[in-house]
Amino acid sequence: MASTLETILDANRRYAEGFGEKCNLAMPPARRFAILTCMDARLDPAKFAGLAEGDAHVVRNAGGRASDDAIRSLVISYKLLGTREWFVIHHSDCGMETFSDEVMRGLLAKSLDHAVLEADGWHDRGSGPGTSEGQYIDWLTIRNQEESVLEDVRRLRGHPLVPPWIPIYGFIYDVRSGGLLPVPAATKLGSAK
Ligand code: ZN
């Protein structure tokens, strides 16, 4: 059976063979918008938002949260690369809803092996040692999708590095239907001033 590495390189060879005119794409995103969303493997922004190479910036992290690093990317996105509209897209059934900072820190303190999600929560099956380094990270977990979208749009809207003229839209992607559900309170809060 082919390894992950071989499979990826094989797929890439085929992709590069058909690369064609994409060699001429400009660096700034042609459609001038950016999406901040979760790294969840079920989400494919290119497909659910109809993007082609060169169209838009997609900033991804666990939860699609407006972390300092996400803000770093978004500021570069508008300041240097011309985006003028942003979308914050969290999603249903997000893994970030399944734990808290305390739980994550506890799991990491036990071991650096995989943890397992069971009916009553996460369990560490590894044989240590673990580390206390998890204490120093804000894991930006999520309790409620609408609230997390609202919270992140609020943070972006109020951030001193984010100009008031960029509209910020809030959505929840439904992993069961593939649809984008609007979060009107977030989009209202994120409207351009
Ligand atoms: Zn997620």
Q: How confident is the model at residue 1 (pLDDT cuts 50, 70, 90)?
A: confident
Q: Tens digits of per-residue pLDDT, 54-109? A: 999 999 999 999 999 999 999 999 999 999 999 999 999 999 999 999 999 999 99
How far, in Å, from the CA of 120 to the mean position of ligand 1?
Answer: 20
Dihedral over Cα of 21, 23, 26, 27: its sign: positive
132 has a pLDDT exceeding 90 = yes
**To which residue do tokens 């820190």 refer?**
105
This prediction's pTM: 0.96
Mean pLDDT for the stretch of residues 42-53: 98
Instruction: Give the whole-angstrom CA distance, residue 140 versus residue 32.
Output: 28
Q: Give residue limits of the domains in the chain.
A: 28-96+141-193, 100-138
pLDDT of residue 181: 98
Phi, psi of 165 (to 5 degrees): -85, -5
Percent of the chain with pLDDT over 70: 100
Note the pLDDT of residue 53: 98
| Residue 173 CA to ligand 1 centre (angstroms) | 10
Q: How far is the centre of ligand 1, averaged over its atoms, from the C-alpha of 171 (Å)?
A: 13
**Mean local confidence (pLDDT), 33-37:** 98
Token code pair at residue 76? 């570069």
Q: Which tens digit of pLDDT belongs to each residue from 6-34?
A: 999 999 999 999 999 999 999 999 999 99
Could you tell me the CA-to-CA distances from 2 to 7, 8, 9, 13, 64 in Å, in that order?
Answer: 6, 10, 11, 15, 32
**How much distance in Å is there from the Cα of 51 to the middle of ligand 1?**
20
Ligand 1: distance of its center to the CA of 77 in Å? 22
Checking if the pLDDT of 128 tops 90, the result is: no
CA of 128 to the centre of ligand 1 (A): 27
Average pLDDT, the chain: 97
Exposed / middle / buried, residue 158 (Cβ in 10 Å: 0-12, 13-18, 19+): exposed
Is CATH 3.40.1050.10 the classification given to domain 28-96+141-193?
Answer: yes
**CA dist 11 → 5, 6, 8, 17, 188 (Å):** 10, 9, 5, 10, 42
**Residue 25 C-alpha to ligand 1 middle, in angstroms?**
30
Q: What is the mean pLDDT of residues 36-60?
A: 98
pLDDT at 160 over 90: yes
Which token pair is 81?
Answer: 């690369």
Q: Stretch 97-122: mean pLDDT, rounded?
A: 96
What pLDDT score was predicted for residue 170? Answer: 98
